[in-house]
Amino acid sequence: MDEAETIFALSTAPGRAGVAVVRVSGPAAGTIIDAIAAPRGKPRMAALRKLRDPATGEVLDEALILWLEGPRTETGEDMAELHLHGSPAIVRAVLDVLASQPGCRLAEPGEFVRRAFENGKLDLAEVEGLADLIDAETDAQRRQALSQMQGALSALYEGWRANLIQACALVESAIDFSDEADVASDAYERARVLVAETAAHIGGHLDDDNRGEIVREGFRVVLAGAPNVGKSSLLNALARRDAAIVSEEAGTTRDVIEVRLDLDGLAVIVSDTAGIREAEGAVEQEGIRRTLAHAGDADLVIWLTDALASPTPPPPGLGRSILWVVNKIDLGTPSPLPEAALAISAKTGAGLDALTGDIARRARDRVGSASAPAITRARYREQLNTCMSALQTFMSGAAIDIELRAEDLRRAANALGRITGRVDVEDVLGEIFARFCIGK
């Protein structure tokens, strides 16, 4: 990407709409507005203008134009927004005219946000919070993403990083004044106290039961049980649509089928899996293997049994948390009901409200009500673990090897810096910004 170029893109959804917004960013943004929508309006004040093709003088549309002078813009560059009537013909004509202007080209996916990052308007954690905000499907996801986009997580990590840089400075001063034992000893001990406090905070942050990832990615529920107990029927009832094939033939479900639900503002992913039994063929064996693998990774396994059959307990080690559900109570009520089990009918809907309420409660309990910023990505957790490893090496290492202890602190600080993009992040930039649509 060349920052000297001016970029443009449609920022609203393609297709027919009441209004379409086209954004322009770069050094030629003002010149382009002068060419197609003269006269240029006052900065940050909407102006009604006729959009013209400079080559022919043809009027393309009558639109609201916002002229935004850098660096106080989203990208840090001169920007303009064209608020058009949202017909595909108008949008196409305006984009064609913009593409014909010298030094102006269509933006690549995520290029507006990348320029904001490169010009210091957002750090990487804030960028990823913005991406999550755009993708948010539930209130919990929206709140978490908005907090991250506004810098809550970045402030936490940068605060810890500042502590480690301060500790590193103390250790460096101990090296510089090694001939003055009392000065060197005091500086080193002060560094150890600061590192111990920071490490305790980071350790507590890591020990969060993955609540941030669960909010972002979803609370995973697996439906498991013997064939023909009604797993696919229950999935369809929860999804309120025919997501899975329902058949009396055993072994119909061979692959894992997922649906996404919004329960009390939390994303819940429910997976229908193959029935667990002695498989009759290689394909069914693979389906059962996938069932067991998904159950092992799930936040909750719903063990489904048939009200008309003898209750069969779940196999040992099926999952970390198991909820026993007895299905088909419309055909008969089991007596006695297994302890702590729920009785439902996927066919009539009886008991489904209690079941969804129980799932939502378990999801809320797992996520918790803590308002402190949470780890939202595996990338963050990996760097935090790297940081903790370096801090533990510092704390357990010999003070006599003080140059190595200083390097421990540099490694720890750099790991935190990689989360926000302070240091050494070129390898992740392409992956992060490619997630955005063109126009963002």
Angle between the 378-396 and 181-206 helix axes, to the nearest 10 degrees? 150
User: Token pair of 7, please?
Assistant: 């970029």
- C-alpha neighbours within 13 Å on the C-beta side of residue 207: 7
**Which residues have a Cβ under 8 Å from the Cβ of 307 and sit 6 or more positions away?**
326, 327, 328, 329, 331, 332, 333, 334, 343
pLDDT of residue 426: 66
Per-residue pLDDT of the chain (440 residues; tens, 9 = 90+): 445 799 999 999 999 999 999 999 999 999 999 999 999 999 999 999 999 999 999 999 999 999 999 999 999 999 999 999 999 999 999 999 999 999 999 999 999 999 999 999 999 999 999 999 999 999 999 999 999 999 999 999 999 999 999 999 889 888 876 666 666 688 889 999 999 999 999 999 999 989 999 999 999 999 988 888 888 889 989 988 776 544 454 444 445 788 999 998 999 999 988 766 555 555 555 666 667 777 888 899 999 998 888 878 888 878 789 999 999 998 887 667 777 889 999 999 999 999 999 999 999 999 887 678 999 999 999 999 999 999 999 999 998 898 999 999 999 999 999 999 987 666 566 766 777 777 77
What is the C-alpha to C-alpha distance for residues 166 and 177, in angstroms, rounded to an integer? 16
User: Token pair of 225, please?
Assistant: 């049980």
User: What are the start-end ranges of the H helices in 219-316?
Assistant: 231-239, 282-297
The SS3 assignment for 104 reads strand
**b/e sequence 20-32, b meaning 16+ C-beta within 10 Å:** bbbbbbbebbbbb
- Residue 225 and residue 234 in contact, taking contact as beta carbons nearer than 8 Å: no
pLDDT of residue 172: 87
The SS3 assignment for 298 reads coil
The domain spans of the chain are 6-122, 125-208+375-421, 215-367
Q: Which fold has domain 125-208+375-421?
A: Four Helix Bundle (Hemerythrin (Met), subunit A) (1.20.120)
Q: Which fold has domain 6-122?
A: Gyrase A; domain 2 (3.30.1360)
Count of CB atoms within 10 A of residue 393's CB? 16
What is the C-alpha to C-alpha distance for residues 139 and 324, in angstroms, rounded to an integer? 29
Single-letter amino acid code for the residue at 106 = L
What is the C-alpha to C-alpha distance for residues 344 and 325, in angstroms, rounded to an integer? 7
Determine whether 227 is exposed, middle or buried from the number of CB atoms within 10 Å of its CB (0-12, 13-18, 19+).
Answer: middle
Predicted structure pTM score: 0.83
- Residue 193 and residue 394 in contact, taking contact as beta carbons nearer than 8 Å: no
Sort strands 6-10 and 19-25 into parallel, antiparallel or unpaired: antiparallel
Q: What CATH number belongs to 215-367?
A: 3.40.50.300
User: Token pair of 18, please?
Assistant: 């009441």
| Closest C-alpha among 381, 427, 335 to residue 157 | 381
pLDDT digits (tens, 9 = 90+) for 207-239: 998 999 999 999 999 998 888 888 888 998 998
pLDDT of residue 300: 94
DSSP state of 201: H
pLDDT of residue 313: 84
pLDDT of residue 253: 47
User: Token pair of 136, please?
Assistant: 């948010």
pLDDT of residue 138: 94
What is the C-alpha to C-alpha distance for residues 178 and 160, in angstroms, rounded to an integer? 27
Determine whether 85 is exposed, middle or buried from the number of CB atoms within 10 Å of its CB (0-12, 13-18, 19+).
Answer: middle
